[in-house]
Chains A and B, each alone.
Chain A
């Protein structure tokens, strides 16, 4: 059974720091991996999607990497800002198109000014 783990569960950093959020999954046979942002009491916003054949994706200050063989993904946030404060969720598709996502519990990030 696929399990997704995110470490750390919570992270506090001062503004301007670069940081890395970690995601690991137990079954390397995934179709793709998505990173989401969730603000308190709000829905999920898709940040980046990495296909299983890709190694990384970038969007602005965000860079997500994928190492399928080791079952790991990282989300790198450069020059963090207070507006980056949110919960970040990692989710994987099993190795079958159209299947549901399997989510980690998330990392709650707090960036202080």
Chain B
């Protein structure tokens, strides 16, 4: 199993551009999450999904959108990138019925200039 994979690893965007961060998990987990981590800070929740077709906002959703058309994929869309979105983005997943231990991807480091 590859676990949770994220692409790209790094990206530089200009202000106002858009992009999609990809996240895929092969563990058949129904819960998936997007977090962002700013320097010296803990992770904060952007959006989460409890299954295909179901998404909900987290603590810091402004400027982002998500969709969940399959169990495996949970892409994060940035519209009109702003410098405040410069951060490291982590995708995570877990399954119901167990300990709810979350497994994280390697992250995408995004810079908006």
Contact = CB atoms under 8 A, between A and B. Distances in A.
Contacts, number: 58
A59 to B, nearest CB: 13
A31 B45 CA distance: 17
B90 interface: yes
Contacts of B101: 32, 34, 46, 49
Contacts of A36: 104
Interface of A: 4, 31-32, 34, 36, 41-46, 49, 51, 89, 91, 93, 97-98, 100-106
A89 B100 contact: no
28 contacts: A4-B42, A34-B102, A43-B90, A43-B104, A43-B106, A44-B43, A45-B104, A49-B99, A89-B42, A91-B42, A91-B43, A93-B100, A97-B100, A98-B31, A98-B50, A98-B94, A98-B96, A100-B45, A100-B48, A100-B58, A101-B33, A101-B43, A101-B92, A103-B42, A103-B43, A104-B42, A105-B40, A106-B42
Contacts of B42: 4, 89, 91, 102-106
Contacts of A89: 42-43
Given A41-B109, A46-B103, 4 more contacts: A32-B99, A34-B102, A43-B90, A100-B48
B102 A101 contact: yes
